[in-house]
A and B are shown apart, each in its own frame.
Chain A
Amino acid sequence: MSILKEEFNVAKMDFVTAGEASAQIKRILKKLGVDAGVVRRLSIACYEAEINLVIHSDGGTLSLEVNPDDVVLISKDIGPGIPDIELAMSEGYSTASDDVRMMGFGAGMGLANMARNADKFRIESKVGEGTLIEMIFNLKQEA
């Protein structure tokens, strides 16, 4: 059972609040005294996930679950879904529009970057339904 749960709504194309959910999540983890290295990896993955929700999804939620041994970060959206996950996972691949790229986003490393920073990474997606990404960060060193 998780000891702390928080959920944040992330709206489509809302660049005014983009990044606020990750900033809050980061603040919570620092207050709990989570190891600096874990916070760093989690910050990167969490920010990527939040920006992905803003740019690519039709809106969704970012949720944080803190457990005694790990932190689980779940990004869930209501669409449009990813047709080819393998392709989307490859570095450099991006479907971001030119407008978004002009803002310095959409370089196409998002998913791969998330997978690299998380200890466990799982993605499920259905076109027309949405995408679910689950990332787990271990709090204790594995023996």
Chain B
Amino acid sequence: MATNLHSVRLDKGKCVGCTGCLKRCPTEAIRIRKGKATIIDELCIDCGECIRVCKQHAKIAVTDPLSSINRYKYKIALPAPALYGQFKRIDDISSITRGLLRMGFNDVFDVAVGADLASRAIMEKLKSPSCPKPLISSACPAVLRLIQVRFPELIDNVVDVRSPMELAATRARSEFCKRTGAKPEEVGCFFITPCASKATAIRNPIGHTKSAVNGAISILEIYGLLSSQLRRVKSDDHDEIEPHPCTALGIGWARTGGEALAIEEEEALAVDGIENVSRVLEQIENDRLPELKYFEGLACEGGCVGGPIVFENMYIARNRIRQLVVNLPKVKVSDAVSLDDVRELGDELCFDAPIRQIEAMKLDSDFSAAVKKLDRIEEIRKKLPGLDCGSCGSPTCQALAEDIVGGYAKEMDCLFLLKARVSEMARQMVEISELTRE
């Protein structure tokens, strides 16, 4: 897999080769080689844990610069609901719409509308008698990749409805073209993103071949500019803006449990934090939750408001979303969105490509060779100290043993084995010198 598919990258100049990210990566995708962190493409799920934990800020999220919108004649901003948690005293989200328009966008279309459409489509899927149990949300691309890498058995449980971001882009473009007569190819849709995995999902969609979104601009990148626009908006903007067509529940998708609430399913479970998601998926794999009908897993604690490339503290942002949602009219998604609205999305509503298993865990394509490797790994692991210190550059002793067998590391990369070897050599030297003393 080509490196440019991922959005989490390393700034080599800043990396000091410490073990911070190494120990925190949930899929053990990081190794320290020659004093610098390297990311194993097949294992990386773009969750951004390493971005959060790196004290040197050497892990970066690659998103599109704001200037990239100029590639298109018409530019539409697709703000993630999480954006509304970033600013103080937002009692009316239309001020954010105004701010984005002032920044050079021709139109702003809430991803929360896409969330409403997705909620409605998911509700229909849940009604089908052949619906897998539990149905697993497809909204978080990092969780989808985690399933591809670690839980391929659960691929068939993933709901085949595209993400709110995708549905919003499709709808935004078609409405804009209808309204203005613009050609679809002249319209660029840009997601204002709280995370890197969405940028990856645009370049390399999971479950469909092409994304309707043309780029992802990070919330951090536009934060400064947008806040200054917001201050101006408050004093001198009086243009009429159409009321937002999204429901409060659509905005609620920004935080954990929002999706489960919007789809009106009692037997739903929402989990956040990639390690927690992993643990619960393990339970689902063991069939420990037979009554569960819907599983919402989000890689970031707090949900999208806790994304790695947002400005505001997750708890504060999450609370603002809560307050915003409470003060909006309470409308059920099933009343606000009709099935015709959903059907209008046509071929761009559901997945059109299978979700592939990523065979990154497999030791060898040949079964008996894999068994031999497993034996050899076990043999080496027993020699290692079991401290999981990370000094060798692999996250655990088990991982080092696997790396040695895979040909990526040597036994002497382990400082403890090296120390034992050196003292053995020293002892032998003394022995030789004593034997040869005249």
A residues sitting closer than 8 Å to B (CB atoms) are 3-4, 19, 22-23, 26, 28, 30-33, 36-37, 39-40, 43-44, 47-48, 66, 68, 104, 113
With known contacts A3-B368, A44-B287, A30–B282 Cβ distance under 8 A: no
Interface positions of B (Cβ within 8 A of A): 150, 152-155, 282, 285-288, 357, 359, 361-365, 367-368, 370-371, 374-375
When A3-B368, A40-B153 are in contact, do A31 and B285 touch as well, CB less than 8 Å? Answer: no
26 A–B pairs (Cβ distance < 8 Å), ordered by A = A19-B286, A22-B286, A23-B282, A28-B374, A30-B150, A30-B361, A30-B362, A31-B362, A31-B363, A31-B370, A32-B363, A32-B370, A32-B371, A32-B374, A33-B359, A33-B364, A33-B365, A33-B370, A40-B285, A43-B287, A47-B287, A48-B287, A66-B371, A68-B368, A104-B288, A113-B287
Q: How far is the CB of A77 from chain B (nearest CB, A)?
A: 20
* Interface contact B371-A3, CB-CB below 8 Å: yes
- Minimum CB distance partner of A29 in chain B: B361
Residues of A within 8 A of B368 (CB): 3, 68
Contacts of A3 in B (CB 8 A): 368, 371
Shortest distance from the beta carbon of B286 to any chain A beta carbon, whole Å: 4
| CB of B228 to closest CB in A, whole Å | 51
Q: Contact at B285–A43, with CB atoms within 8 Å?
A: yes
Q: Top 4 closest A-B pairs, CB basis?
A: A40-B153, A33-B362, A47-B286, A36-B152
A80 smallest CB distance to B (angstroms)? 25
Main secondary structure on B side of the interface with A: helix
| 15 extra A-B contacts, CB within 8 A, seeds A33-B365, A44-B285 | A22-B286, A23-B282, A26-B285, A30-B150, A32-B370, A32-B374, A33-B367, A36-B153, A36-B357, A40-B153, A43-B285, A44-B287, A68-B367, A68-B368, A104-B288
Return A8 CB to nearest CB of chain B, in Å.
Answer: 14
Assembly CA distance A3 to B359 (angstroms): 22
How far in angstroms is the closest Cβ of chain B from A51? 9
Question: What is the bound-complex CA distance between A40 and B156, given in angstroms?
Answer: 12
A28 CA / B367 CA spacing, docked (Å) = 12
B363 contact from A33, A43, A66, A68, Cβ within 8 A = A33
Q: Which residue of A lies closest to B285 (CB)?
A: A43
Pick the contact of B374 from A4, A19, A48, A113 — CB < 8 Å? Answer: A4
- Name the residue of chain B whose CB is nearest to the CB of A34: B367
A32 and B287 within 8 A (CB): no
Q: Give chain A nearest CB distance to B164 CB in angstroms.
A: 28
Neighbouring A residues of B367 by C-beta, 8 Å: 32-33, 68
CB distance from A17 to the nearest CB of B (A): 15
User: Which residues from B are CB-within-8-Å of A26?
Assistant: 285
Q: How far is the CB of A23 from chain B (nearest CB, A)?
A: 7
Most chain B Cβ neighbours within 10 Å, of A4, A32, A37: A32
- When C-beta atoms are compared, the residue in chain B nearest to A19 turns out to be B286
A66-B362 Cα distance, complex, nearest whole Å: 15
Q: How far is the CB of A121 from chain B (nearest CB, A)?
A: 16
CB distance from A110 to the nearest CB of B (A): 11
Find A43's partner among B153, B359, B371 (CB 8 Å cutoff): B153
In whole angstroms, how far apart are the Cα atoms of A23 and B281 in the complex? 12
Q: Which residues of B contact A33 (CB under 8 A)?
A: 359, 361-365, 367, 370
The answer for the CA separation of A30 and B285 in the assembled complex, in Å, is: 13
Q: Which residues of chain A have C-beta atoms less than 8 A from B153's C-beta? A: 36-37, 39-40, 43
Contacts of B286 in A (CB 8 A): 19, 22, 43-44, 47
Chain B residues with CB under 8 A of A22: 286
Q: A23-B282, A36-B152, A68-B367 are in contact. Are A31 and B374 (CB under 8 A)?
A: yes
Complexed CA–CA distance, A28 and B368 (Å): 13
Give complex CA distance A40, B363 in Å.
Answer: 19
- On chain B, the residues within 8 Å of A30 by CB distance are 150, 361-362
For the complex, give the distance between the alpha carbons of A104 and B288 in Å: 9
